[in-house]
A and B are shown apart, each in its own frame.
Chain A
Amino acid sequence: MIPIRGSGLGVAPSKGSAAIFAALGDETRLRLVARLCHSGPMSITRLTAGTDITRQAITKHLRVMRAAGLVRNTRHGRESVWRLEQKRIETARYYLEMISRQWDEALERLRKFVEG
């Protein structure tokens, strides 16, 4: 059921994509990505507003994602403004699409196998 490289596009994952997926493997972090994606760069104060997650927790999540290269922050006075690293997000999406296609192929083989 798992896509294997030999079965599809023959593209190896880049070094560091493990970090991307580990960083995204958390509901809170995915929500942060979604918010930054829809609303653009924002401060931790704004990211925390309207959630029941503490500022400390959000900061921790952002740091994990920063380590994976998914987000970066710039200082504006006393506040840090966080934004998505669009290229890394696209890389993640690219791998997901690749895996997705390989799944389609694997399931097609399963179909042939059981229906044949």
Chain B
Amino acid sequence: MDTDRIEKKVLLKASLGRVWRALTDSGEFGSWFGVRFAGPFVVGGTVRGVIVPTTVNAEVAAAQKPYEGTAFEITVERMEAERLFSFPLASVCGGAGRGLFGGADYAGRVCARGGGGWGDADGYGVRVRCDSTGAAG
């Protein structure tokens, strides 16, 4: 039974700097994710935002449309330059964004971690993990 974590790995054909910016620049994160944040991501800081349809996928954008304007927030936990970006799910779910998530009740944190030996010269590996134990692995 694998009920303790969800782990995804993806190899992106882009430079490390490009991927890092897409994750940690709140404006860029919002573009693909579908949120407009009121400010930048800062470690320990809570950024509020609202759902806006993503610009990346028309179908997803249509699905997000009914939720447009719904409050959403993230408290950034760790941001280690081009290595690890994480925020606990509880910071999102416990705040105004509660109920927006398919897994709103899934305690844990989201970690985006790069490299780790499986990225290569052609791209940059990102591992995201949603973990019920809450360990920033």
Contacts and interface: CB of A to CB of B under 8 A. Distances in A.
A99 B1 contact: no
Contacts of B54: 7, 109
B1 A34 contact: yes
A65 interface: no
A5 to B, nearest CB: 5
B14 A95 contact: no
Contacts of A13: 101-105
A1 B19 CA distance: 13
A15 to B, nearest CB: 9
A1 B34 contact: no
Contacts of A6: 34, 51, 63-67, 70, 100
Contacts of B103: 2-3, 13, 95-96, 98-99, 102
Interface string A19-31: 0111011110010
Contact of B102 (A26, A98, A112, A113): A98
A57 interface: no
A84 to B, nearest CB: 10
Given A7-B64, A102-B102, A115-B13, A96 B31 contact: no
Given A4-B34, A112-B57, A25 B12 contact: no
Interface in B63-122: 63-67, 70, 72, 89, 92, 99-108, 110, 112
A113 B3 contact: no
A95 B60 contact: no
Given A6-B63, A8-B63, A112-B57, A96 B6 contact: yes
Given A24-B4, A95-B106, A7 B34 contact: yes
Interface size class of A (residues with CB under 8 A): 35 or more
Interface of B: 1-4, 6, 8, 10, 12-14, 18-19, 22-23, 28, 31-34, 51, 54, 56-57, 60, 63-67, 70, 72, 89, 92, 99-108, 110, 112, 126, 128, 130, 132-134
26 contacts: A1-B112, A2-B110, A4-B33, A4-B67, A4-B102, A6-B34, A6-B51, A7-B64, A11-B102, A13-B101, A17-B106, A25-B4, A25-B107, A33-B1, A96-B6, A99-B6, A99-B103, A99-B130, A102-B103, A104-B8, A105-B60, A110-B23, A111-B10, A111-B12, A113-B28, A114-B18
